[in-house]
A and B are shown apart, each in its own frame.
Chain A
C-alpha cells in the first residue's frame, strides 16, 4: 500500500531473527569433522583420502541428480549431504574397493534420505544405512582392515582399492586387525592410550577418540549438538562395561577399552546426534542415548560381530519418533500445583 510516495512492507511479527541458519549449522558440523578427516588421511594415507573423496562425491552427486530428476531445486547447498558423505566415508575400512564405496553412498542417500523426503524427513541416518548395506552385501570386504601408519601409505594404494565391480578384492599380505576384533577373536587388549590417540587400526575415521571428542565439544559449545546424547551413550557403555568387567574380567573388556575402541566415539558424537533422527526433548535424548548404549554393549559382548554401534544407532533412530511420542515437554501451567 502506498503511503505518500513510499511503500510499506507488511510482515507478521516477529520482525527480527537470530540469524541462525540450517546451512550454517551444517557447515559447522563439516568444520568439526575436518580434524577427524585429516587424521584419517594421515594414518591411512592415499587409500583413506580416495575412500573419503568417493564417499562424499557419490553422496552429493546422488542427491543432486535425484533432485534434478524430481525437478526440484537441488538441496546440496544446505551442506547436509556433505556431512552424510564425510561420515559415511569415515566409517569405512580404508582399503574398501572404491566401487563398493560408491554403491553404499548411492544407496544411503537415495533410499534413506531422498525417498523419505530429503533433509528433515529421514528416519534413519543415511550414512549408516549406506554402511549397513555394505555390511550386508560385502561382509568380507567390510571386515578386511589395512594397517594404520604403513610406511608406503602415501606412495602406494592397497591392491583392493581399484578392484573391478563384482570381482573378489585381493588384499596385501599384512592385515590390520582392529582392537575390537583382536579382543573378540584373540582375547588381546589394546592400550587405552593408543585408542585415545588413534594409534590403532580400524575404519578410516573412527580411530582417534581425542579429535572426535574435540569436534563434539566444539559443536556442543555452539549448541549445534545436544551433548546429552553422547553423554548418555558413553555413560551407559562405560557403566555396563565396568559392571561386566567386574563380574568376569577374563570374558569382558574393561570400561576404558569399551569406550575408546571401535566406532563408539564417532557414532556417539557425530552419528547418533543427527538432529533429524534423534528425539527433540532433552529427556528424550537421554533415553535415546541410554538405549543406544545398552544395544551397543549387548551386541559387542554377546553378538557375532565385534562392533555394534551402527545397528544400535539405526535401531534407536527407529525408536526416536516413539520416544518423542512418549516424552513431550511439560507445558507451563499444567501438571504442577
Chain B
C-alpha cells in the first residue's frame, strides 16, 4: 500500500470509495440510435440560455446550428439529428424545473452523417478565432460542470499561463467515459491540445490520469506527438482527485487561492473529453450534437459507454440499455456528486457524464448520532476545512459564521465528509443548504 502511495503523486486527505468501474471500463463506445423525439434545452450550460434560430416546422440537418449564444457567457446548440422542429416550448429539466427547449422529430431513417461547417484552421486562426469557434461549437465542460469552455479559456491579459492541464482523472465511481475517450480518441485529444496550447499560450500540457487507468497512460504515452510539449502523468487513485484544485495540487504542488481561479497560479485545466471534442469538432466547424455517457449500475442490463445524441430522453436511453422494471434510484453523474433524479422524463444534456441506476429496495436512512469529534471528516476534506465544526454551526443555523470563519464558500461539495461520517450526519447536504440560505440573504441585502 505504501509503495503505491509513493509511486504516484496526489493531494493531501481524500477518500477511497469503491471504484465500481470494472463493468464498463473495457466496453468500447457504442453509437446510440435516435429517439422518436429529441428535446434540446436552450440552457444546458452555466450562463444565459441560447437563442433559437429555427422556426417550428423547419427542417434541419444533423449538426446544423439551431440556437445561437446570447452574449459571452452562453454557447450555441446544434441539431442532434436531421428532422423537423416540432415546437419550441417548456420541457422538464434535471432540476425539476421547466425550461424552454427545442423539440426535434428526426426523419425516419435519419443518417448519422453530420453537416460540415466553416473549419477553424489551427495554423492560421488567432487565439480569439479559436475561442469564438469553441463558443460557436457549443462546447462546455463535459466533466459535469457544463461551464462554457471559451469563458474558462479566456485568461485575463495580466495573467500568464505556463501549464495546461488535461483532466483525465475521472475519480467518480462507476464512470468510465473519459477512460474510453482516452483509449479511442487519442488523435482528437492531441488535436484539442494543440488548439488549447495556442489559445492559452501555455508552455506545456500535462494529461493527468488516475492510476486505475494505466492502460490509458501507456497507450497515450506511446502515441504522444513529438512536436508539441505534452506529457502524461499518473496520479494516485483517490477521490476527489479529479477536482481541478486537487489535480493541480497533485501535478504541480500549487494551490489555487481560496476564492481564486487556476489562472491565478498560471494554470488552465480542461476536461479530457472536452479537449477531445475541441479536437474533433473545430477542424470541421461542427458543433456538439452528441456526447459519451456511461450507463451503468446494478439495474442496467446492457451497461456500457454510449455516444448519445444530446436531447435524447433519458427514459428512451435507459430502456435501450435494458433498465430493470423495479428501478428505484437513478443518479445523474456518479454516486459521490451526482444528482438523484425525480423523474425519467428529462432530456440528456451536454453536462451529463453518466447515469447510474439501482433497483434496491427502499433503504431506511441510517440512525444519525451526535458528532463525536472523531475527526474523520477533518482528515477527509481535501480543502482542509473543518466539516465537524461547520456541521455544528449548520445545525445552529449560523450560516454567516460558517462562511466568514470556516470558509464554507470554498467547499465544492465533493461529499467526502458525509461519506466518512460514522455518525451519519448529512454534512455536505447541510453545507449545500447553508450556501443556499447565504446566497439568498446576501442577494437580499
Please determine whether A3 and B386 come into contact, CB atoms closer than 8 angstroms.
no
On chain B, the residues within 8 Å of A14 by CB distance are 335-337, 415, 418-419, 428
Please determine whether A12 and B343 come into contact, CB atoms closer than 8 angstroms.
no
Please determine whether A25 and B422 come into contact, CB atoms closer than 8 angstroms.
yes
> Out of B255, B374, B376, which one reaches A336, CB within 8 Å?
B255
> Out of A4, A13, A20, A331, which one reaches B337, CB within 8 Å?
A13
Please determine whether B325 and A333 come into contact, CB atoms closer than 8 angstroms.
no
Residue of A nearest to B426 (CB): A12
Kindly name the residue among A12, A14, A276, A278 whose own CB sees the greatest number of chain B CB atoms within 10 A: A14
Decide if the interface of chain B is mainly helix, strand, loop or mixed. Answer: loop
Please determine whether A331 and B410 come into contact, CB atoms closer than 8 angstroms.
yes
Please determine whether B260 and A333 come into contact, CB atoms closer than 8 angstroms.
yes
Complex alpha-carbon distance, A22 and B173, angstroms: 25
B86 at the binding interface (Cβ < 8 Å): no
Stretch at the interface among A115-123, A145-153, A245-253: A115-123
B378 at the binding interface (Cβ < 8 Å): yes
A321 to chain B, nearest CB (A): 10
Count: A-B pairs, CB below 8 Å: 168
The B388-445 residues at the A interface (CB cut-off 8 A) are: 388-389, 406-407, 410, 413, 415, 418-424, 426, 428-429, 432
B254 at the binding interface (Cβ < 8 Å): yes
A180 to chain B, nearest CB (A): 31
Please determine whether B255 and A337 come into contact, CB atoms closer than 8 angstroms.
yes
On chain A, the residues within 8 Å of B372 by CB distance are 22, 25, 80, 119-120, 275-276
Q: Would you give the 0/1 interface string for A1-42, flagging 1 where the beta carbon is closer than 8 Å to chain B?
A: 101111111111111111011111100000000000000000
Q: Would you give the 0/1 interface string for A308-336, flagging 1 where the beta carbon is closer than 8 Å to chain B?
A: 00000000000000001000111111101
Complex alpha-carbon distance, A336 and B260, angstroms: 14
Residue of B nearest to A225 (CB): B374
Please determine whether A15 and B255 come into contact, CB atoms closer than 8 angstroms.
no
On chain B, the residues within 8 Å of A329 by CB distance are 378, 381, 384-386
Please determine whether A280 and B378 come into contact, CB atoms closer than 8 angstroms.
yes
On chain A, the residues within 8 Å of B329 by CB distance are 8-9, 11, 15
Q: Would you give the 0/1 interface string for A236-264, flagging 1 where the beta carbon is closer than 8 Å to chain B?
A: 00000000000000000000000000000
Please determine whether B375 and A18 come into contact, CB atoms closer than 8 angstroms.
no
Please determine whether B255 and A16 come into contact, CB atoms closer than 8 angstroms.
no
Please determine whether A333 and B327 come into contact, CB atoms closer than 8 angstroms.
no
B100 at the binding interface (Cβ < 8 Å): no
B110 at the binding interface (Cβ < 8 Å): no
Please determine whether B421 and A20 come into contact, CB atoms closer than 8 angstroms.
yes
Complex alpha-carbon distance, A328 and B173, angstroms: 31
On chain B, the residues within 8 Å of A25 by CB distance are 372, 374, 422
Please determine whether A16 and B335 come into contact, CB atoms closer than 8 angstroms.
yes
A3-B343, A5-B325, A15-B329 known; A22 vs B375 contact (CB < 8 Å): no
> Out of B245, B336, B338, B418, which one reaches A333, CB within 8 Å?
B245
Kindly name the residue among A16, A80, A224 whose own CB sees the greatest number of chain B CB atoms within 10 A: A16
Please determine whether B369 and A20 come into contact, CB atoms closer than 8 angstroms.
no
A272 to chain B, nearest CB (A): 13
> Out of A10, A78, A118, A337, which one reaches B254, CB within 8 Å?
A337
> Out of B327, B339, B422, which one reaches A13, CB within 8 Å?
B339
B366 at the binding interface (Cβ < 8 Å): yes
On chain A, the residues within 8 Å of B375 by CB distance are 226, 275, 280-281
On chain A, the residues within 8 Å of B17 by CB distance are 16, 18
On chain A, the residues within 8 Å of B419 by CB distance are 14, 16-18
Please determine whether B374 and A328 come into contact, CB atoms closer than 8 angstroms.
no
Residue of B nearest to A278 (CB): B373
B344 at the binding interface (Cβ < 8 Å): yes
Please determine whether A331 and B383 come into contact, CB atoms closer than 8 angstroms.
yes
Complex alpha-carbon distance, A236 and B181, angstroms: 56
Please determine whether A20 and B383 come into contact, CB atoms closer than 8 angstroms.
no
B345 at the binding interface (Cβ < 8 Å): yes
B180 to chain A, nearest CB (A): 23
On chain A, the residues within 8 Å of B257 by CB distance are 333-334, 337
B370 at the binding interface (Cβ < 8 Å): yes
Complex alpha-carbon distance, A5 and B426, angstroms: 30
Please determine whether A1 and B407 come into contact, CB atoms closer than 8 angstroms.
no
Residue of B nearest to A21 (CB): B422
Please determine whether A21 and B330 come into contact, CB atoms closer than 8 angstroms.
no
On chain A, the residues within 8 Å of B373 by CB distance are 120, 275-276, 278, 280
Please determine whether B340 and A8 come into contact, CB atoms closer than 8 angstroms.
yes
Complex alpha-carbon distance, A336 and B336, angstroms: 29
Please determine whether B340 and A10 come into contact, CB atoms closer than 8 angstroms.
yes
Complex alpha-carbon distance, A17 and B337, angstroms: 12
> Out of A7, A119, A224, which one reaches B369, CB within 8 Å?
A119
> Out of B338, B340, B344, which one reaches A3, CB within 8 Å?
B344
Complex alpha-carbon distance, A6 and B370, angstroms: 35
Complex alpha-carbon distance, A226 and B17, angstroms: 22
Complex alpha-carbon distance, A80 and B429, angstroms: 27
> Out of A10, A21, A334, which one reaches B424, CB within 8 Å?
A21
Complex alpha-carbon distance, A13 and B240, angstroms: 14
A13-B336, A25-B422, A276-B373 known; A6 vs B327 contact (CB < 8 Å): yes
B306 at the binding interface (Cβ < 8 Å): no
The A101-122 residues at the B interface (CB cut-off 8 A) are: 117-121
A282 to chain B, nearest CB (A): 8
On chain B, the residues within 8 Å of A16 by CB distance are 17-18, 173, 335-336, 419
A43 to chain B, nearest CB (A): 32
Complex alpha-carbon distance, A10 and B338, angstroms: 11
The A32-76 residues at the B interface (CB cut-off 8 A) are: none
On chain A, the residues within 8 Å of B18 by CB distance are 16
B177 to chain A, nearest CB (A): 18
On chain B, the residues within 8 Å of A275 by CB distance are 372-375
Complex alpha-carbon distance, A167 and B341, angstroms: 70
Kindly name the residue among B315, B375, B378 whose own CB sees the greatest number of chain A CB atoms within 10 A: B375
Complex alpha-carbon distance, A9 and B339, angstroms: 11
B265 at the binding interface (Cβ < 8 Å): yes
B132 at the binding interface (Cβ < 8 Å): no
On chain B, the residues within 8 Å of A331 by CB distance are 258, 383-385, 407, 410
Residue of B nearest to A336 (CB): B255
| Chain A residues at the B interface, C-beta cutoff of 8 Å | 1, 3-18, 20-25, 78, 80, 117-121, 223-224, 226, 275-276, 278, 280-281, 324, 328-334, 336-337
19 A-B pairs within 8 Å (CB atoms) are namely: A7-B328, A8-B328, A8-B340, A9-B329, A9-B362, A11-B340, A13-B331, A14-B415, A16-B335, A18-B419, A21-B369, A22-B423, A119-B369, A329-B378, A329-B386, A332-B410, A333-B257, A333-B258, A337-B265
- The 3 closest A-B CB pairs, nearest first, are A120-B370, A14-B415, A20-B422
| Interface contacts beyond A8-B343, A24-B422, A275-B374: sample of 16 additional A-B pairs, CB < 8 Å, sorted by A | A8-B340, A10-B340, A12-B340, A14-B337, A14-B415, A16-B17, A20-B421, A78-B369, A119-B369, A119-B372, A120-B369, A276-B372, A276-B373, A324-B389, A333-B245, A333-B257
